Structure 1
Amino acid sequence: MEVAGGRVAPGQVGYSDALVPLVPRDVTATSEAARRGLRVEFTDGTIVLSPDADDLVGLEIALLSGFEHLT
């Protein structure tokens, strides 16, 4: 995960503290590419999901939701 102070990875001190504030934020951009993963950008941080093959349990690496008001 990329934040203003640098990068933080799962298991590192500060990872949860960096991730939780992004939950209510608006997404400003997304991109995806083979071998680079899924990139979700916020105004004050970026999450990059790029799991190794051993990390994959199913077909999805992310679930996009929050569009109930459009149905």
Structure 2
Amino acid sequence: MRSNAARNALSGCLGFALIVLAGFNAAPARAQDQLKVAIGQINNWENQAPTLGQDAGIFKRHNLVLENV
């Protein structure tokens, strides 16, 4: 039967190994997707969603960059 010190050392080593393996499994950073949006008559409220969403940072939170053309 193992002593408590040996059991604690073994569980500490296993915990460290799990942390190291989790670090290798981390996902790389993704680039933002860029979309071109054609907006007709910019002064109409029904066409303001892309402009207002970009100003509010909504698209940036979802990794999108809009280019208004």
Bigger relative CO (Cα 8 Å, ≥ 6 apart): 2
Higher helix share: 2
Q: TM-score, normalised by structure 1?
A: 0.26
Highest CA radius of gyration, 1 or 2? 2
Query: Normalization by structure 2: what TM-score?
Result: 0.26
Q: Per residue, is there more strand in 1 or in 2?
A: 1
